[in-house]
């Protein structure tokens, strides 16, 4: 899992991007779709459905990575009335062959919007400049969450379904994310400057202030374990952060478990690393993720650090 810092932290920040002409709780705009490439046309309206509208493109690497995850979530929540829709602004002759090649790996509705009418009403309105970006729409047809599909999407859907996730709580969460961005900015600055003392101090601040943010702790711990400037590595601190993240995730997150196993390995607990990496493999949300985690497990069992 080499991309932890560039994906998960970026995902946290993406979800915190400020809204411009729109805000959480607003009525979801109608989808203006040129063509439905896969699945039946979807009309967003109040009722018994929850919608996840994800903006993506065939050329986008992170989008490709998220496809199996979205498929898994569609399967998990299909019987609970959750409808996933992938929207690309590319032409049909680009999107259709890609979707056909994906087959069952991309098992949700896919639409094209080359005129970018839907992009304007969603992506531009919320000042979202990167993809993939997902919008969650509740049963009242309100946009209640915007963010990277690999960050919190599953938890948000579950919260919308059971009523524990509300727009008011979401807005409070976004305000806290802004503070997280500022704190993480200090960490990134110290990391780029190669200032180990400031980096460790910033990491300690993050651990103290955001002990209830397992994904953030996971990203920071992974950096302390694997950053290219090895002089900045801090295995004991990474282990403490990873343990808090594992506990905070209730040992249900494969990526967080993977980081904890790595921290155990780097601090000399090979047996513990193997045991927890086995748990990470079992928790994998896709076959692609499981294969990657299995390679890491094989390395531990062979007494080697993952490459």
Q: Do the domains 4-165 and 171-301 sit in the same CATH topology, yes or no?
A: no
Please report, for the chain, the start and end positions of each structural domain, with discontinuous segments joined by +: 4-165, 171-301
pTM: 0.61
Instruction: Tell me the percentage of the chain whose pLDDT exceeds 90.
Output: 81
What's the mean pLDDT when you consider all of the chain? 91
d(CA 47, CA 209) in angstroms, rounded, equals: 40
For residues 28-57, one letter each, b for 16 or more C-beta atoms within 10 angstroms of the residue's C-beta and e for the rest, the string is: bbebebbeebbbeebebeeeebbbbbbbbb
Q: Are 143 and 26 in contact (CB under 8 A)?
A: yes
Buried b (16+ CB within 10 A) or exposed e, 85-118: bbbbbbeeeebbebbeebeeebbbbbbbbeeebb
What are the helix and strand counts (H, E) for the chain? Answer: 13, 6
**How far from each other are the two terminal CA atoms of the chain, in whole angstroms?**
10
Does position 12 have pLDDT exceeding 80, yes or no? no
- Mean pLDDT computed over 244-271: 96
What architecture (CATH level 2) is domain 4-165? 3-Layer(aba) Sandwich (3.40)
pLDDT given for residue 305 in this prediction = 86
Query: What integer is the mean pLDDT of 128-151?
Result: 94
Please give the helix or strand (H or E) that residue 19 lies within, else none: none
pLDDT, average across residues 136-160: 94
**pLDDT on residue 78:** 96
Q: What is the pLDDT of residue 21?
A: 56
Predicted local distance difference test score (pLDDT) of residue 87: 98
Q: Is the pLDDT of residue 13 over 60?
A: no
Sheet holding 109-112, edge to edge: 35-38, 109-112, 82-88, 50-56, 133-137, 143-147
pLDDT over 70 percentage in the chain:
93
In CATH, 171-301 is 1.25.40.10: yes
């Amino acid at each position: 899992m080499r991309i932890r810092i560039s994906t998960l932290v970026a995902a946290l920040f993406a979800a915190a991007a400020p809204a411009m002409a729109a805000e959480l709780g607003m009525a979801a705009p109608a989808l203006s779709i040129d063509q439905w490439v896969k699945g039946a046309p979807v009309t967003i309206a109040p009722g018994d459905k929850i919608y996840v509208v994800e903006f993506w493109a065939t050329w986008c690497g992170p989008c490709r990575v998220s496809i199996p995850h979205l498929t898994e979530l569609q399967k998990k929540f299909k019987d609970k009335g959750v409808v996933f829709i992938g929207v690309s602004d590319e032409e049909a002759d680009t999107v259709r062959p890609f979707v056909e090649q994906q087959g069952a790996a991309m098992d949700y509705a896919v639409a094209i919007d080359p005129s970018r009418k839907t992009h304007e009403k969603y992506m531009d309105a919320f000042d979202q400049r990167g993809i993939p970006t997902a919008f969650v729409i509740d049963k009242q047809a309100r946009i209640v969450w915007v963010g990277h599909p690999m960050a919190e999407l599953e938890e948000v859907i579950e919260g919308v379904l059971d009523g524990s996730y509300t727009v008011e709580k979401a807005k409070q969460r976004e305000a806290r994310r802004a503070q997280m961005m500022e704190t993480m900015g200090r960490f990134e600055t110290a990391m780029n400057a190669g200032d180990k003392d400031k980096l460790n101090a910033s990491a300690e601040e993050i651990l103290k202030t955001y002990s209830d943010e397992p994904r953030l702790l996971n990203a920071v711990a992974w950096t302390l374990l694997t950053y290219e400037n090895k002089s900045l590595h801090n295995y004991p601190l990474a282990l403490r952060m990873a343990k808090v993240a594992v506990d905070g995730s209730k040992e249900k997150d494969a990526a967080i478990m993977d980081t904890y196993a790595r921290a155990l390995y780097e601090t000399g607990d090979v047996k513990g690393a193997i045991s927890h990496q086995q748990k990470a493999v079992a928790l994998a949300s896709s076959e692609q993720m499981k294969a990657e985690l299995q390679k890491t497990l094989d390395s531990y069992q062979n007494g080697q650090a993952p490459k």
